[in-house]
Amino acid sequence: MPRLTQTPSVTVTKRRRSLFSFSNILKSMVTVTVAISLSVLAAGGTYAYLNSAQTIPAGSAGGASTTIKSGSASLVITSGAAALSGLYPGVTKTADFTVSASGSADLALSVSSIVGQGVNGLDIKVAPGTCAAPGTAVAAGSLGVTAVAATTYDSTTTPASTVPLCLVVSMLSSASASAAGATTSVSVNLTGVQS
Amino acid sequence: MNKLIKGAVATAAGVALLMGGAGTFAYWNDSVGITGGTITAGNLKVAAPATAPSTDGWTVQKNGTGTATTVSTISSFVASPGDKFTLTKTVNVTATGNNLTATLALGAGSITAATTGAADVALAAYLTKTATIAASGTGIAAIGSTGTYSITPGTAGITNSPVTVTVTITYPKDAATVTTAGPNSTAVLNEKASMLGSVNLAGLTVTVDQQ
């Protein structure tokens, strides 16, 4: 008996895309929105609020372009090297030196550290003022004096200063015998903090 | 049938369009103009005066206190932390509009680093953080402590009214660190990083905006 077979038929219907399809409408809306936005932006200004701006001529002579510059802070020891010899227990020797502020900020001076302190029985301090008339010597901490910078705006009322300081080196009475004939390198680290 | 419907719709639309061209063809009608007068828009403008008053200029106070010292050439001045700069300038404000209210403020980007150097960037960051504006004049009032001022011209309006603007810039001392952002990195800086820095004030602006 012959087998009856049936091949399923597939009908392909080509649907014509409507001119008013959702995607077409969406595309049109986006295009119109972009076009309007571009034309509004290209025209400049704002369309919602009144506003205005004016450059303030910051230059002293009325010019608009000007600057504010910051300065610097630095300390200079103008006579730092001192050779102290012939020390023996119970003797104190001194050496004058000066410090100035080479930047634009006034600097309050303090002793931050002393290298050589206690070595070979040495007691080292720094005093404000000259060695002829020294103030209170300190091994660390504030010296109570300020180095005034030359370029600060108040230089007319407080001219730049060179601060005299005095290095005070004593050999303690309790120094050991091994200190005899010994050489000790001493350095004083000063700190200047803007006042 | 379908074609018939389409044709009918098209005909109806055409007739309707023709009717919109000139009056109606079926009813009596008339029109009269309403005299409504004019509507005039207001104005909001800030401008530099033709001649700067002698009171304009820079002063500085050391550590922000004491006598204000006049600085004749600000670009020659070398600043240190603690310096408080004050720039006094006069601007003319025009504000008309019965219901107009506006604000006056310092424009964004008024202080910029002179270069991309670290010191310039750090100094700009410090000074920008502290820059404030004050204003006084007719119709001007502070809005709380916001650093912004209101302009209320009222029904009379104000025209070319001189307003004294005071821009205060403080170079902070013992300030907290500031974070600056560069094109490729960010950096946390302290005051020392701003040593020998330079900022440009060419963009210093006063803005007025309707509210």
Helices (H), B50-183: 118-130
Interval B121-139: pLDDT, tens: 989 988 988 899 999 999 9
Rounded Cα gap, residues B45 and A52, in angstroms: 5
pLDDT at A7: 56
Q: What is the DSSP code string of A86-112?
A: ---TT-EEEEEEEEEE-SSS-EEEEEE
By the CB < 8 Å criterion, does B102 face chain A? yes
- A107 confidence band (pLDDT: 50, 70, 90): confident
**Interface test mutation site (partner A, options B70, B75, B80, B128, max chain A beta carbons within 10 A):** B80
Q: List pLDDT tens digits, range A32-75.
A: 777 766 665 565 555 568 899 988 877 655 554 588 888 888 88
- Identify from A55, A70, A104, A148 which residue to disrupt to test chain B contact, counting B C-beta atoms within 10 A and taking the largest count: A70
Chain A residues in contact with B125 (beta carbon < 8 A)? none
pLDDT at B162 over 70: yes
Nearest to A143 by CA among A182, A190, A104, A178: A190
Give the B window 66-85 contacts with A, CB below 8 Å. Answer: 69, 71-75, 77-82, 85
Q: Which residue segment(s) compose the domain that A110 sits in?
A: 75-79+88-175+186-194
Q: How far apart are CA A76 and CA A102, in angstroms?
A: 6
- Cα(B138)–Cα(B143) distance, rounded to whole angstroms? 15
CA distance B156 to chain A (A): 18
Give the pLDDT confidence score for residue A1 in this predicted structure. Answer: 46
Residue A61 domain-assigned? no
CA–CA separation, B117 vs B74, rounded Å? 21
Strand A67-70 and strand B78-79: pairing? Answer: parallel
Query: If we measure between CA atoms, which residue out of A100, A98, A97 comes closest to residue A73?
Result: A100
Which residue, A89, A99, A90, A88, is CA-closest to A167?
Answer: A99
Which pLDDT score is estimated for B209? Answer: 92
In chain B, which residues have their Cβ closer than 8 Å to the Cβ of A73?
Answer: 80, 195
Look at A105 and B81 and tell me if their CB atoms are within 8 Å. yes
Residue B1: inside a domain, yes or no? no
- Report the range of poorest mean pLDDT among A123-127, B71-75, B180-184: B180-184
- The whole-angstrom separation of Cα B157 and Cα A50 is 14
A94 in a domain, yes or no?
A: yes
- pLDDT tens digits along A116-164: 999 999 999 999 999 999 999 999 999 999 988 876 555 455 567 789 9
Q: What is the mean pLDDT of residues B166-191?
A: 66
A126 in contact with B at a CB cutoff of 8 Å? no
Residue A9 lies in a domain: no
Burial classification of residue A101, based on how many CB atoms lie within 10 Å of its CB (0-12 exposed, 13-18 middle, 19 or more buried): buried
ipTM: 0.71
Q: Judge whether residue A11 has pLDDT over 80.
A: no
Domain count for chain A: 1
Considering only CB atoms, which chain B residues are within 8 Å of A66?
74-75, 200-202
A126 in a structural domain: yes
Let me know the angle formed at the C-alpha of B165 by B105 and B195, rounded to the nearest 5 degrees: 80
Mean pLDDT of B65-70: 87
Confidence of residue B92 (pLDDT cuts 50, 70, 90): very high
Instruction: Quote the pLDDT of residue B35.
Output: 85
pLDDT, position B19: 60
| pLDDT at position A4 over 70 | no
B161, part of any domain:
yes
Q: By the 8 A CB rule, do B49 and B60 touch?
A: no
The token duo for A77 is: 């020891």
Structural domain contains residue B152:
yes
Query: Could you tell me which residue, B38 or A82, shows the higher pLDDT?
Result: B38
Most confident of A4-8, A44-48, A83-87, A154-158: A83-87
- For residues A122 and A169, the answer to whether their CB atoms sit within 8 Å is yes
Report yes or no: B159 and B96 within 8 Å, Cβ to Cβ.
Answer: yes
Q: Tell me what the mean pLDDT of segment B143-161 comes to.
A: 88
Q: Kindly state whether residue B96 falls inside one of the protein's structural domains.
A: yes
Contact A134, A140 (CB under 8 A): no
- In single-letter form, the type of residue at position B162 comes to P
Q: Is residue A28 included in any domain, yes or no?
A: no
Beta-carbon contacts of residue B70 (< 8 Å; ≥ 6 apart):
B57, B58, B59
B160 inside domain: yes
| Helices and strands (H and E) in chain B: how many | 2, 15
The answer to whether position B22 is within a domain reads: no
The DSSP annotation for A3-25 comes to PP--PPP-----PPPPTT-HHHH
Let me know if residue B158 belongs to a domain.
Answer: yes
* B144 φ, ψ (degrees, to nearest 5): 55, -135
Determine, yes or no, domain membership for A49.
Answer: no
Q: Is residue A132 part of a domain?
A: yes
Kindly list the residues from chain A whose CB atom is less than 8 angstroms away from the CB atom of residue B47. 52, 54
**What phi, psi does B121 have (nearest 5°)?**
-65, -40
The whole domain housing B184 covers: 43-210
Say how many domains are in chain B: 1
Contacts of B69 in chain A (CB under 8 A): 153-154
Q: Is A133 helix (H, G, I), strand (E, B) or coil?
A: coil
Tokens of B59: 């002063």
Residue B53 Cα distances to A64, B56, B93, B104, angstroms: 16, 6, 15, 20
What tens digit of pLDDT does each residue of B11-25 get?
777 666 666 655 556
**Residue B10 maps to a domain:** no
